[in-house]
Amino acid sequence: MGASASTVESPGGPLQRAVFAVEGMHCAGCMRRVEEALEAVPGIASARVNYTLGRVAIQGDKAAVEPRRVADTLKAAGYDATPFEAGTADAAAERDLKRLLLALAVAGFAAMNIMLLSVSVWAGNASDIAPETRDLFHWISALIALPAAAYAGRPFYESAIKALSARRLNMDVPITIGVMLALALSVYQTAISAHHAYFESAVMLLFFLLGGRVLEQMMRRKTRTLAGNLAAFRTGTAERVNGNGSTEAVPPELLQPGDLIRLKAGDRLPVDGTIAKGGAEFDASMITGESRPVTLGAGDDLHAGSVILNGTVDVTVRATVGGSLIDDVQRLLEKATESRSRRLALADRASQLYAPVVHATALLAAVGWLIAGAGLHHAVVVATTVLIITCPCALALAVPAVQVAAAGAMFRLGLFLNTGTAIERLAEADTVVFDKTGTLTDPSFSVRLLGDVPADLARLAARLAQSSRHPLATVLAEQAVEPPFADITEEPGRGVRAEVGGQDVRLGSPDFCGLDEAQIQDAGGASLIAVRHGDRTAVFVVEQALRPDARATVQRLRDLGLQPAILSGDREAAVAPVAAALGIADFAAGLDPREKIERIEQRAAAGQRVLMVGDGLNDAPALAAAHVSISPATAVDLTQAQADAVFLGGSLGPVASAIVAARRARRLMTQNLAFAAAYNALAIPIAVLGYVTPLIAAVAMSASSLIVTANALRALPRRHRVPSSAPLATGKREAVPA
Amino acid sequence: MTVLLWLVPLALLLGLIGLGAFVWSVKSGQYEDMEGAARRALDDSDLDPKA
């Protein structure tokens, strides 16, 4: 995107820049249509689509880039759009990626040029190069290598210093030591006019490793982008009530504490707040796991993620989350996250073993040569070459290369990794704990008839439902075959009614239809809709159905050797039927966040490695406490941030597929580490005996890196499929008797 | 061998120009939408249909 577009003059005042997430762009023509549709709007100076990110950046005057106008324009062109505000974490990650790319370019430039000079020196050493020419070439190499390594190696040096100051060892410590020693030795060798210098080894090492890091960062960017767009679409815009009573659509990120926002039936609250005016029923299942709607009025606190089911309320935005539940969750999270950071990634374990062994070997080699009567200079050269040739190129790439390839494979399965180390932990899981609401069940609703209802009455109900804005009624309306009634009266919060053939027909709360709610049996506390035609009545139960492939996935997980269990915040009466339908005997209901953590910790203490799958705010601490965790893309932000991976769509299948892919990836990681160990076992004796020349070091380093990377590529799926950006399954749902 | 005295700096200079071009392309955001750029190249709706 050109940075120069902001100079366009506009009569409407200074230009504003706004970014929107756009859904449904799948081809070059789409990009063009989106840009043309926007640029046709008076006041919009430029629109530029970023296809990779699924976003469009618009510049124009204030009125033209107003979210609602832009969304309407794109809607008319056939695309859904929602304003997108980049978080600070996003911006930092983008900067990191740019920095890594530049470092990679510098290292690549330096490696190529030094290699040209080095090959000349190696050829010359074998024939008749003049010592002056060789020294000149070495000095030029130093001139390129020293600044290049100082610049391109910064990501490693910084990480190594951070690790050392925390008294830990990571892979970057031996990398840093190796690079520094190689450079120092080479400068010294050059100064004394020796035959060998190792500049190309040091810079090549940085180049290979940076390549791995760039790939890793790009993989994360893909995941982050998708998650960001999903979040933007989930919250959409909020309707802010201004002082003069008018309303205006704003992105939720721009809401200030104290702002008043208006929620209508079906809206999801984007921020925490307090009800200022009105009262309504809310679905708080995202927060508590409880599937029964709660009725709240003025003065009650609401958490982000609550969905309003009927009526209209005005909500005052709150500055800090003050509710006891959120406080609890935050505190528990801190504790749980602490315990997780104690776990060591496979790569770090390898480096903890590797660094002492290699450094001790180098020292012993130097001492050995000294004892054998060699000079100090020779001993130091041998010790350094041991460090250079074992310099952990293969080892440092062994795990990350597999992580990148496996993450790409999982991306195609609809699973996005938040952390690279999640793969190892996924492979180790032997127990899978599900949350019920929104995880095992579909986040949307389905309708079931209670008892025998005449077909004509059911049809009538569906026909009436089309005229209601109540979210439960819209589910019923999907079954309608006839056009809606022309003359309808809607009584907010109660239902709709019409006159058919002189008779009164009603659809709404049981009370509205003249039924006593307490008399209705077998509803299990789920939401009810009643219909009345004359004196005939019928009742529908609206409930959350199981995800279409929940049963198959649970069975697949069992086949993979994982024990399934359910920990739910919902009532026992709602959990038991789900557990029975899935054949899971191990379930607990009515748990608060603290109890969920306790149950997870008990399992961990019993030696189980728990994979937690959950979506609610009440699941967030449990996700952080579990060995590894996954949440659906519909989860609340705080919860999603805790999960190691996020899966997309209506299917639960990615959870099982992830286990398979992770186990495969772990096998490849082990192979790679074994190869790296074997390579070192071979290389160390050669170096200790003093046979390593820069040529051998360069060949060995490249060959081992390439072998490890090629092996990692086997983690990619065999069949190449293009990932569709949001495969939200719309399969048949399986209803659970509640 | 005096030819080296200007050939080596020349080679380095050419390399530096390439590096500079890459740095410029990263800084001006040309790597921000690689997929989009690939698809835009295939978009022929700006061509004259008679041509």
Could you report the per-residue pLDDT of A110-129, keeping only the tens digit for each? 999 999 999 989 999 888 88
In A80-109, the residues whose Cβ lies within 8 Å of chain B are 98, 101-102, 105-106, 109
Residues of B with CB under 8 A from a CB of A: 1, 4, 8, 11-12, 15-16, 18-19, 22-23, 26-29, 31-36, 39-40, 42-43, 45
Please determine, for residue A190, whether its predicted confidence score (pLDDT) is greater than 90. yes
Tokens representing A127?
């024939």
What distance in Å separates the CA atoms of residue A59 and residue A46, rounded to the nearest whole number? 5
Contacts of A511 (CB under 8 A, 6+ apart): A494, A517
Distance (Å) of CA A172 to CA A292, A311, A354, A355, A626: 52, 58, 12, 10, 28
- A250 interfacial to chain B (CB closer than 8 Å): no
Q: Which stretches within A414-568 are classed as H helix?
A: 422-428, 455-465, 471-477, 550-559
Do residues A651 and A559 both lie within one domain?
A: yes
What is the pLDDT at residue A635? 76
Do residues A189 and A97 both lie within one domain?
A: yes
A601-654 pLDDT per residue, tens: 899 889 889 999 988 878 888 888 888 999 887 777 777 777 888 888 778 888
Point out the domain boundary residue: A84, A115, A140.
A84
CA of A657, closest CA in chain B: separation in Å? 27
Please determine, for residue A106, whether its predicted confidence score (pLDDT) is greater than 90. yes
What distance in Å separates the CA atoms of residue A288 and residue A294, rounded to the nearest whole number? 11
Point out the domain boundary residue: A490, A520, A545.
A545
What distance in Å separates the CA atoms of residue A737 and residue A733, rounded to the nearest whole number? 13
Burial of B37: CB neighbours in 10 Å, binned 0-12, 13-18, 19+: middle
- Tally the domains of chain A: 5
- Percent over 70 (pLDDT), chain A: 85
Tell me the pLDDT band of A7, cut-offs 50, 70 and 90. Answer: very low
Q: Which of B1, B36, B45 sits opposite A29 (nearest CB)?
A: B45
Tell me the pLDDT band of A2, cut-offs 50, 70 and 90. Answer: very low
Flag if A28 and B34 touch (Cβ within 8 Å): no
What is the pLDDT at residue B44? 75
Backbone phi, psi, residue A486, to 5°: -80, -40
- Lowest-confidence segment of A340-354, A478-492, A639-653, B18-32 by average pLDDT: A340-354
Helix (H, G, I), strand (E, B) or coil at A426: helix
The CA-based diameter of chain A, rounded to the nearest angstrom, is 115
Q: Is there a domain that residue A227 lies in?
A: no
Question: Is A435 an active-site residue?
Answer: yes
CA of A660, closest CA in chain B: separation in Å? 29
Flag if B43 and A29 touch (Cβ within 8 Å): yes
Tokens representing A509?
């709360």
What distance in Å separates the CA atoms of residue A209 and residue A212, rounded to the nearest whole number? 5
Q: Which stretches within A127-239 are classed as H helix?
A: 131-152, 154-165, 172-191, 199-235
Helix (H, G, I), strand (E, B) or coil at A699: helix
Q: Are A3 and B30 contacting, i.e. CB atoms less than 8 angstroms apart?
A: no
Please determine, for residue A333, whether its predicted confidence score (pLDDT) is greater than 70. no
The mean predicted confidence, pLDDT, of chain A is 80
Angle at A322 between CA A321 and CA A327, to 5 degrees: 85
Do residues A560 and A652 both lie within one domain?
A: yes
Report strand pairing: A260-264 vs A488-491: unpaired
- A309: domain CATH number is 2.70.150.10
Q: Is there a domain that residue A39 lies in?
A: yes
* Optimal mutation site among B5, B14, B19, B43, interface A, most CBs of chain A within 10 A: B19
Indicate which residue of A272, A283, A301, A435 is catalytic.
Answer: A435
Do residues A600 and A532 both lie within one domain?
A: no
Q: Are A482 and A461 contacting, i.e. CB atoms less than 8 angstroms apart?
A: no
Tell me the pLDDT band of A569, cut-offs 50, 70 and 90. Answer: confident
- A503: domain CATH number is 3.40.1110.10
- Highest mean predicted confidence (pLDDT) among A130-144, A202-216, A254-268, A496-510: A130-144
Q: Are A134 and A189 contacting, i.e. CB atoms less than 8 angstroms apart?
A: no
In 3D, which of A250, A328, A263 has the Cα closest to residue A296? Answer: A263
Backbone phi, psi, residue A268, to 5°: -105, 130
- Lowest-confidence segment of A207-216, A461-470, A563-572, A703-712 by average pLDDT: A461-470
Helix (H, G, I), strand (E, B) or coil at A510: coil
The DSSP line for A561-607 is: TPEEEEE-SS-HHHHHHHHHHHT---EE-S--HHHHHHHHHHHHHTT
The DSSP line for A595-646 is: HHHHHHHHHHHTT--EEEE--SGGGHHHHHHSSEEEEETTS-HHHHHH-SEE
Q: Are A70 and A59 contacting, i.e. CB atoms less than 8 angstroms apart?
A: no
Residues of chain A with C-beta less than 8 angstroms from the C-beta of B14: none
CA of B51, closest CA in chain A: separation in Å? 20
SS (H, E, C) A65-117: CCHHHHHHHHHHHCCEEEECCCCHHHHHHHHHHHHHHHHHHHHHHHHHHHHHH
A13-48 pLDDT per residue, tens: 678 888 888 887 877 778 888 888 898 888 888 888
> CA torsion sign, A236 to A483 to A509 to A506?
positive
* Optimal mutation site among A1, A36, A56, A120, interface B, most CBs of chain B within 10 A: A1
In 3D, which of A290, A256, A261, A326 has the Cα closest to residue A639? Answer: A326
Alpha carbon A223 to chain centroid, angstroms: 5
Flag if B32 and A1 touch (Cβ within 8 Å): yes
- A19: domain CATH number is 3.30.70.100
CA of A1, closest CA in chain B: separation in Å? 6
Distance (Å) of CA A10 to CA A19, A42, A61, A63, A641: 19, 10, 7, 12, 41
Do residues A420 and A554 both lie within one domain?
A: yes
Q: Is there a domain that residue A288 lies in?
A: yes
Do residues A428 and A571 both lie within one domain?
A: yes
Q: Which of B16, B32, B39 sits opposite A27 (nearest CB)?
A: B39
Amino acid identity for residue A39 in this structure = E
Tell me the pLDDT band of A317, cut-offs 50, 70 and 90. Answer: confident
Give the position of tokens 């698809």: B39
A449-470 pLDDT per residue, tens: 666 677 778 788 888 887 776 7
- A26 interfacial to chain B (CB closer than 8 Å): no
Please determine, for residue A387, whether its predicted confidence score (pLDDT) is greater than 60. yes
A219-250 pLDDT per residue, tens: 777 777 776 777 677 666 778 888 787 887 77
Point out the domain boundary residue: A55, A84, A113.
A84
Q: Is there a domain that residue A635 lies in?
A: yes
Flag if A52 and B35 touch (Cβ within 8 Å): yes
- A144 interfacial to chain B (CB closer than 8 Å): yes
A691-720 pLDDT per residue, tens: 888 888 888 888 888 888 888 888 877 654
What distance in Å separates the CA atoms of residue A176 and residue A159, rounded to the nearest whole number? 9
Do residues A158 and A195 both lie within one domain?
A: yes
Residues of chain A with C-beta less than 8 angstroms from the C-beta of B8: 117, 140
What distance in Å separates the CA atoms of residue A554 and residue B21, rounded to the nearest whole number? 54
Flag if B26 and A112 touch (Cβ within 8 Å): no
What is the pLDDT at residue A235? 64
What is the pLDDT at residue A695? 84
Provide the domain limits for residue A466. 444-545
Residue A436 DSSP symbol:
I
Flag if A144 and B42 touch (Cβ within 8 Å): no
Do residues A552 and A426 both lie within one domain?
A: yes
Do residues A450 and A593 both lie within one domain?
A: no
Backbone phi, psi, residue A206, to 5°: -60, -40
Q: Is there a domain that residue A339 lies in?
A: no
Alpha carbon A142 to chain centroid, angstroms: 42
State the average pLDDT over residues A256-270.
80
Burial of A88: CB neighbours in 10 Å, binned 0-12, 13-18, 19+: exposed
Distance (Å) of CA A684 to CA A99, A384, A398: 34, 11, 19
Q: Is there a domain that residue A338 lies in?
A: no
Do residues A195 and A129 both lie within one domain?
A: yes
Do residues A99 and A218 both lie within one domain?
A: yes
What is the pLDDT at residue A719? 54
Distance (Å) of CA A285 to CA A139, A197, A543, A570, A619: 68, 66, 12, 8, 11
- Lowest-confidence segment of A288-297, A350-359, A503-512 by average pLDDT: A288-297
Please determine, for residue A349, whether its predicted confidence score (pLDDT) is greater than 90. no
Q: Is there a domain that residue A502 lies in?
A: yes
Q: Is there a domain that residue A108 lies in?
A: yes
Do residues A613 and A479 both lie within one domain?
A: no
- Percent over 90 (pLDDT), chain A: 14
